[in-house]
Amino acid sequence: MPRSQSHESTRSKLLENKRKQEKYYNMSAKELQPLHNGDVVRVKPNDKHSPWRKAVVERKHGIRSYKIRTEDGGMYRRNRKHLRATKENIIDPDSQDLDPTPLESQPESIVPSETGKAHTAMNVQQGVENAKSSENDITPDNYQTLRGRSVKKPGYLKDYIT
């Protein structure tokens, strides 16, 4: 008759396996640096294709979580592993000027240089010449596809009349 194991021995083996797993996991794990009030951070988005948003740490909420305020004014609680400290400055929407002055150094219209005009004219002229030469190459035996490729019949068929 098979013997059953005692409840205590099974429990002790499970705890020992748990301690071993914790030991090997913690060998490569590292503590993240704590964040302080006013630190600028980037917040990991829920959608992995969205960009990381800029935010400011308002206060610490728990052991690993922080209350943050995003640039659009939203208040969120996020785990430390979803926050990355940055050295960027955050723009406070309350402190922005309501009447920004336009930059005077930028011209209102962009005028191409003379060399750009000559270069462009030369490219157009070459394109026209290429189009004319390709029109001359098209014979009844050759034709051009809709995509612009010229198709020639094979040379061994030149003796046959179609």
- Give the pLDDT score at 27: 92
Position 71 pLDDT exceeds 80: yes
Instruction: Report the alpha-carbon distance of residue 124 to residue 100 in Å, rounded.
Output: 43
Give residue-wise pLDDT tens across range 119-129: 455 555 565 55
CA separation for the pair 50, 45 (Å, rounded): 6
Least confident of 41-50, 63-72, 127-136: 127-136
Q: Go through the domains of the chain in sequence order and give each one's CATH number.
A: 12-91 (2.30.30.140)
Mean pLDDT across the stretch 22-46?
A: 92
118 token code pair: 């000559």
User: Which range is least confidently modeled, 27-36, 37-46, 48-57, 133-142?
Assistant: 133-142
Cα 42 from Cα 59, distance rounded (Å) = 15
Would the pTM count as exceeding 0.85? Answer: no
More confident residue, 91 or 133: 91
CA distance 42 to 84: 5
In the chain, count of helices (H) and strands (E)? 2, 7
Indicate the pLDDT class of residue 108, thresholds 50, 70 and 90.
very low
